């Protein structure tokens, strides 16, 4: 038999099989319990409230806030631009495209961090990337962004910079703080200026 006929007899059936079977869309990639524990321990899933506030104020198109609380809670209060995916509906098909993508940065939040972390663990286990958790949840959000505590005068400049940023962001996001901290007060400070928090901490003190 000619080699070409032999080849045809072999690969045409294989081609027919591969054309007939549905494509395998399941992702075999899963994290083992150890890897999951490791990821949870390194806490890389958390983004700070400052980072999120900065992104909201700057209208960063990459940010996608996802409220995993119930719909009633969501309607009562939610962060600007957030969408509501209640935790029990997390695996519903209509949200799959939102949760499984490589472009935007999904940030889950709940009142504390428990529900948001659960959502993160489930999506992480499915192999989705780009999902994060708002550190401290809405409770911490209120404490730090909407109602920040003025640092003591003995605190470092860094603390004051952070406070000023939080206060500015808080005002931009409808919080209650109005008083400028003394350290940075200027004569014509009519409008609160949202300053970006320093991204990397420099070594403070010492020589």
Partner 1 sequence: MGPLVVNELISENTNLFLAFIIGIAFGFVLESSGFSSSRKLAGVFYGYDTVVLKVFFTAAITAMLGLLFFSLFGWVDLNLVYVNPTYLTSAIVGGVIMGAGFIIGGYCPGTSFCGASIGKIDGMVFIGGLFIGVLIFGLGYNLWDNLYMAKDMGSPKVSESLGMSDGLFALILIIVALAMFTFAEWAERKFPREEY
Enumerate binding residues for partner 1 (CB under 8 A): 4, 7-8, 11-12, 14-16, 18-24, 26-29
Closest separation in Å from C-beta 45 to partner 1: 19
Nearer to partner 1, 22 or 205 (CB): 22
Closest separation in Å from C-beta 16 to partner 1: 6
Distance from first CA to last CA of the chain, Å, rounded? Answer: 86
Nearer to partner 1, 37 or 114 (CB): 37
Nearer to partner 1, 29 or 76 (CB): 29
Closest separation in Å from C-beta 24 to partner 1: 5
Nearer to partner 1, 16 or 114 (CB): 16
Closest separation in Å from C-beta 100 to partner 1: 11
Nearer to partner 1, 42 or 153 (CB): 42
Distance CA 10, CA 205 (A): 74
Closest separation in Å from C-beta 37 to partner 1: 17
**CA angle, corner 117, sides to 72 and 53, nearest 5?**
70
Q: Which two tokens stand for residue 71?
A: 């719909």
Residue 146: name the closest of 119, 177, 104, 118 by CA: 177
């Amino acid at each position: 038999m000619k080699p070409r006929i032999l080849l045809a007899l072999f690969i045409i059936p294989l081609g027919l099989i591969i054309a007939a079977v549905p494509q395998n869309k399941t992702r075999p990639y899963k994290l083992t319990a150890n890897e999951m524990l490791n990821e949870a321990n390194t806490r890389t899933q958390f983004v700070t409230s400052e980072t999120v506030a900065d992104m909201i104020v700057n209208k960063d198109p990459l940010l996608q806030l996802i409220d995993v609380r119930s719909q009633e809670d969501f309607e009562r209060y939610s962060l600007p631009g957030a969408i509501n995916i209640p935790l029990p509906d997390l695996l519903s098909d209509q949200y799959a495209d939102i949760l499984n993508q490589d472009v935007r940065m999904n940030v889950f939040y709940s009142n504390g961090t428990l529900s948001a972390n659960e959502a993160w663990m489930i999506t992480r286990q499915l192999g989705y990337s780009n999902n994060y958790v708002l550190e401290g949840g809405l409770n911490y959000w209120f404490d730090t962004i909407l109602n920040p505590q003025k640092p003591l005068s003995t605190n470092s400049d860094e603390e004051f910079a952070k406070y000023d940023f939080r206060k500015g962001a808080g005002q931009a996001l409808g919080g209650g703080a109005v008083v400028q901290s003394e350290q940075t007060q200027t004569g014509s400070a009519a409008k609160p200026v949202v300053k970006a928090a320093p991204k990397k901490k420099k070594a403070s003190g010492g020589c």
